[in-house]
A and B are shown apart, each in its own frame.
Chain A
Amino acid sequence: MRSTVFIPFLLFTSLHSFAQTDSTKVTDTLLVKTDTAALPALDTTTKAFYVTGSMGISYEGYGLNQRPQASNIFSPRAPWHQGRLDLNPVFNFGNWLSIPVNINITLTPTNFAGPWSGFKQNGAKQSFLQWLTNPANNLGISPHFKWGDVLLGTQYVKYSDFSTGDIGIFGAGFDIHPKRFILKFFTGASQQGIDYLPPDINGSYLRNHWMMQVGMEKEGRYKLAFNLAKVKDRESSVSSPPLTQQPEESFTMSLLADAYTKNGWYIQSEWAQSYYTSDLTQPGMDKPSLLPFIKAKTSTTKDNAIQVSVGKKGQWVDAGIIIKYVGAGFKTAGYPMLQNDYIDAVFNTRITAIKSKLNFTGSIGQRTNNQSNTSIKSKQFIANTNFSYKFSEKWSITVTYNNTGFRAGSSTAIYGVRNVSNNIVVNPAWTFFNKRKTVSHLLSLTYNFSKYKEELLITPFSITDNNTHNITLLYMPSFFDRNYTPDFSVVYFYNSQAGITNKLFTVSSGLGLSSANKKWQFKGQLQYSLGRLNQFSGNSNFIAGFTADRELSAKLHWSIALTANNFKYGDELAPPPALINSHYLESNVKSGFVYSF
């Protein structure tokens, strides 16, 4: 494996030297027309032009050494080198026009899920268009005037929970809301056409999006909006069709209706209908079409989704119920990860009482998956409660309980299964001061018991009966007349299931420190952990972390973070004997400049 820490150190040393020799020069070089922003005390609303926001550039280096070498006992979990540019200034022209710029670029693509970017490790280089639409990069600009926005570049446009909102699209559009009216439109591409190129590139079709919202809104009173979202893959965008993907098309329309009363009652609702074609190459049919938006193929389905939430918000009590139904054929490309075919009902509440000393939040709900009976139906029960009580300024206690149950199939089916998870956390905390009130001491103890049982509904029944105990003790003194802040913690973790016990013990300590003039901020942390699995000899893990933040000027900061992680196995990887006491060392370095306009 490679070690890549040394080069970044050199880079940072040089960068740091440069910054220290003439920080003003750095500021001037990095900034674009920010002279006016150098006067933050001024009332910016009276200025003709000013800039807010921030910009930053950073480098991350990663190293991994393993012993024995090439044993692959641990996989790298970051690119060896990564550079990032974050440019997020807002150019303001008086109080009538502002232009937020959102540019986040990574120099090394690391795409993992999906064929969206055209990038694969050891694969072909991306084209410029692929780079533009790569989800690793955002390049957007959104000029905003009094009652409207122009959207250009990469945008995560969210209209509602069922129409579109989870996908980055590179394109152009607008949001305008003159008085109470809403009119929104956006079009662009979320992925480029990429040829199937074995063995690394599965390929994808060029995917175009169009979306629109029309409606009326009065903030805090009501919203009524109609959404349209269409997605279509272009079959001709590839010369070698993707391996696992068929060209798709979808059209979703939804009606959003929200209303709020002055005394806290609210209702929020959305009804949506989707037309989804999973394979455009299949022959056409008459139904289910919705011309002129989408013409049916044999792979087209049409289904509905509904969401309604009703409740009341008050100073001391909140209560509400959310019901969500997503049909088996409902699918929208604006939410590619959305699971369909379920109905979900959840009741939520919050209670604050006894002069805000008692806080209770809870939710209870049931979800039925595969409601359509086109597959194996399952039921899921979820309950969460959180109770906290502050006895006094010194004493408080928090109790959290979580129960999740799942059941699928029946006692006559081989797939019949039931899972039950119970989790309870009790956390008393004690805060006390010294006599001069110059130091406060926080002592927090957390006990967590978790029981997880999974069983078949037929013999041999039991799959897993799993118990976890976790005890954490945290001590944090705060010195009000000192410039350091230490913390100490101890964690014991014990997990048992049939034939397996897993014990972990961790000691951790941190120290925050600032220089007298507050120009430097340092933080350091050490963590040592011992682990033992069954009868194997123990493993150990040592992590050391250090961060420094230097205020180069009122607006410019430089920071560096160094982390080393050494893990040494016992004999749990053996055989082969060569892996007894094998170990790996991970090293991370991150450094960068951030300028606040």
Chain B
Amino acid sequence: MKLKIFSGVLMMVFYMCSNAQITIQLVVNPAPPAKLSEWAARSNTVTLIATNASAGPRQVVMRSEIKTINGDVVATRIPVAGIVYTLPPGNTVFSARDVVPLNQMSFAGSYKSGLLRTGKLPQGMYTLTVQLDSSSGIPLTAPVTRDFTMTGVQLPVLFAPYDNQPLPAVTAQTAITFRWTNVIKSTAGVPSYNLQVFEVLPHQKTVQALRANQPVLNVIIKGNTQYIWRPQLLFMDSLEHKFIWTIRTTDELGNLYSTTDTNPEGRSEPRVFVIKNSARPREN
């Protein structure tokens, strides 16, 4: 009996000594990118600093787990043979690529199918827990847990002019009103909307005009979701003028909102409007 107690105390002392030699700090972006695969590409999503206070290098295995705020397991890192990290004395910094490697994570049921389909987790609050073990599986650090919230960003939906809306030339020469919805996000801060209008020239496709032409209107509107444009262009000179318009949305720091929801440049799905001189063809 005494031997058992002695052995237990010895193991506890050993564990505590080991723990004391390695410590970890975990920093998780509270609102990380909605698409999990993007975590690896961004350095500021997850940062794990492991400090090895011992004189020599230590070999460790990383364990990580994602849970819902209610404690349901979403994903667990599968121990893969041969994946051992060596911590030299001092600090070693790991990113999401090491902490949450998607090809080594086992996702639970519905989360797995959702991830394969959308690359995202359902909207909600989650926790990420990380712990370092020895290569033989003995815990070297206490588990460290951080919260984060998954909410994608919905870029503005363009309201008016609606797609392919005809506008009378006489009225449009004075003013054209643009309307769109707010960017839908879960964080505070006033967004900026970069409203861009491009004329579609003869022989051009609509998206080609957006890609190739210099915009006839390029303004930044802070917070507001309406803009009255005085085109200062004459539209009665021909039967039809076609335009394509879109919005680029940036946060209060000037960064583009989530790039995975639409296209790489954070543009809302563009709309086309046509200015028609329908009163009468002015040909003699």
Contact = CB atoms under 8 A, between A and B. Distances in A.
A483 interface: yes
A201 interface: no
B152 interface: yes
A111 B154 contact: no
Interface string B257-280: 001111111011110000000011
B193 to A, nearest CB: 13
A284 B174 CA distance: 56
Interface in A473-497: 474, 476, 478, 483-485, 487, 489, 491, 493, 495, 497
Interface string A459-470: 000011010101
Contacts of A506: 173-174
Contacts of A349: none
A402 B162 contact: yes
B103 interface: yes
Given A138-B203, A285-B102, A487-B236, A417 B212 contact: no
A83 B254 CA distance: 35
Contact of B37 (A299, A375, A442, A518): A299
Contacts of A450: 177
A32 B267 CA distance: 43
Nearest to B284: A514
B175 A504 contact: yes
B55 interface: no
A508 B173 contact: yes
Interface string A504-526: 10101010111000100101010
Interface stretch (B10-18, B87-95, B127-135, B218-226): B218-226
A369 B157 CA distance: 10
Contact of B184 (A382, A408, A523, A531): A408
A285 to B, nearest CB: 5
A484 B282 CA distance: 10
Interface stretch (B58-66, B71-79, B114-122, B136-144): B114-122
A442 to B, nearest CB: 7
Most chain A beta-carbon neighbours within 10 Å: one of B118, B153, B282: B118
B29 interface: no
A301 B270 contact: no
B27 interface: no
A529 interface: yes
A59 to B, nearest CB: 14
Contacts of B188: 414
Interface string A157-191: 00000000011100000000000000000000000
Contacts of B242: none
Contacts, number: 289
Contacts of A372: 114, 117-118, 120, 122
Interface residues of A, number: 123
Contacts of A413: 186
Interface string A286-323: 01100000000111011100000000000000000000
A130 interface: no
Interface stretch (A23-31, A90-98, A351-359, A560-568): A560-568
Contacts of B67: none
Contact of B208 (A77, A135, A476): A135
Contacts of B151: 375-376
Contacts of B196: 112-113
A41 interface: no
A375 B152 contact: yes
Interface stretch (B1-9, B45-53, B227-235): B227-235
A375 B280 contact: no
B236 A525 contact: yes
Given A278-B35, A278-B37, A406-B157, A491 B170 contact: yes
A442 B280 CA distance: 9
Contacts of A565: 232-233
A327 B117 contact: yes
Given A112-B214, A376-B184, A168 B282 contact: no
A135 B211 contact: yes
A464 B212 contact: no
Contacts of A508: 170, 173, 236
Given A116-B211, A301-B116, A373-B123, A476 B279 contact: yes
A417 B182 contact: yes
A337 B123 contact: no
B205 A156 contact: yes
Contact of B212 (A111, A374, A531): A111
Contact of A303 (B38, B117, B211, B265): B117
A68 interface: no
Contacts of A446: 168, 170-171
B96 to A, nearest CB: 11
Contact of B116 (A288, A417, A489, A543): A288
B264 A373 contact: no
Interface string B180-213: 0110111010000000101000111101101111
B86 to A, nearest CB: 20
A442 B281 CA distance: 13
Contacts of B20: none
Interface string A550-571: 0000000000010101010000
A468 B178 CA distance: 12
A529 B214 contact: no
A297 B103 CA distance: 8
A523 B235 CA distance: 12
Contacts of A111: 211-212
Given A112-B213, A116-B211, A285-B103, A464 B270 contact: no
A328 interface: yes
Contacts of B35: 278, 299
Nearest to A373: B122
Given A78-B214, A156-B205, A504 B262 contact: no
B162 A404 contact: yes
Contact of B211 (A114, A513, A563, A567): A114
B30 interface: no
B162 A382 contact: yes
A454 B225 contact: yes
A20 interface: no
Contacts of B69: none
Given A406-B181, A450-B177, A88 B234 contact: no
Interface string B143-173: 0000000111111010110100000101101
10 contacts: A77-B215, A106-B212, A288-B116, A336-B263, A374-B114, A409-B184, A415-B186, A452-B179, A510-B236, A529-B174
Given A329-B117, A406-B181, 9 more contacts: A77-B214, A77-B215, A299-B37, A402-B160, A408-B181, A409-B184, A442-B279, A487-B280, A508-B173
Interface of A: 75, 77-79, 86, 88, 102, 104, 106, 109-114, 116-117, 134-136, 138, 156, 166-168, 244-246, 278-279, 282-285, 287-288, 297-299, 301-303, 327-329, 336-341, 369-370, 372-376, 378, 380, 382, 384, 402, 404, 406, 408-409, 413-415, 417, 419, 421, 423, 442, 444, 446, 448, 450, 452, 454, 463-464, 466, 468, 470, 472, 474, 476, 478, 483-485, 487, 489, 491, 493, 495, 497, 502, 504, 506, 508, 510, 512-514, 518, 521, 523, 525, 527, 529, 531, 541, 543, 545, 547, 561, 563, 565, 567, 586
Interface of B: 34-35, 37-38, 40-41, 101-103, 114, 116-123, 150-155, 157, 159-160, 162, 168, 170-171, 173-175, 177, 179, 181-182, 184-186, 188, 196, 198, 202-205, 207-208, 210-218, 224-226, 228, 230, 232-234, 236-237, 246, 259-265, 267-270, 279-280, 282-284
By Cβ-Cβ distance, the 8 closest A-B pairs, closest first, are: A375-B152, A299-B37, A374-B120, A298-B102, A136-B212, A328-B118, A110-B214, A514-B284
